[in-house]
């Protein structure tokens, strides 16, 4: 009787592990596909970090950019190489915007923009 329960617990654990691994890889593939779409249809501009939001025990760095005269907003909760989202406040970075769906973007934290002319051209 004990062997049967142990076998069932092991089977359930293995199924859960397989499910989690499958979910992880499918999510990675989906994210890479979305990034590739943005890069293939990109419009490059400048984004400004303007606030930090605390939600569900996470800290989100909020940014905005302008595309075709409309301001769009985004947020990230991974801000390496910076230590905290507060380190990003008031700084400008390169962002690739999907030119057909401007709410989709990729921001590059390793490409800070300090040129005031480039920042001015972005409309921020």
User: What pLDDT sits at residue 10?
Assistant: 76
Specify whether 107 is located in the same domain as 89. Answer: yes
Q: From first to last of the 124 residues of the chain, give the pLDDT tens digit.
A: 455 565 677 777 777 777 777 666 656 656 555 665 656 667 889 999 999 888 888 888 899 999 999 999 998 887 777 777 788 889 999 999 888 888 888 899 888 999 889 888 888 7
Check whether residue 23 and residue 63 sit in a common domain.
Answer: no
CB neighbourhood size of 89 (10 A)? 15
Token pair of 38 as six digits: 């943005």
Its domain, for residue 71, covers: 42-121
Is residue 119 within 8 A of residue 113, CB to CB? The reply is yes
Residues 1 and 48 in one domain: no
């Amino acid at each position: 009787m004990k062997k049967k329960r142990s076998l069932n617990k092991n089977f359930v654990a293995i199924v859960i592990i397989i499910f989690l691994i499958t979910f992880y890889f499918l999510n990675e593939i989906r994210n890479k596909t979305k990034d590739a779409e943005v890069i293939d249809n990109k419009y490059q501009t400048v984004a400004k970090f303007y606030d930090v939001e605390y939600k569900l025990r996470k800290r989100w760095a909020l940014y905005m950019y302008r595309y075709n005269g409309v301001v769009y907003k985004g947020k990230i909760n991974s801000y390496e190489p910076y230590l905290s989202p507060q380190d990003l406040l008031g700084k400008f970075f390169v962002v690739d915007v999907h030119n057909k769906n401007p709410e989709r973007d990729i921001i590059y934290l390793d490409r800070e923009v300090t040129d005031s002319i480039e920042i001015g051209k972005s409309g921020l």
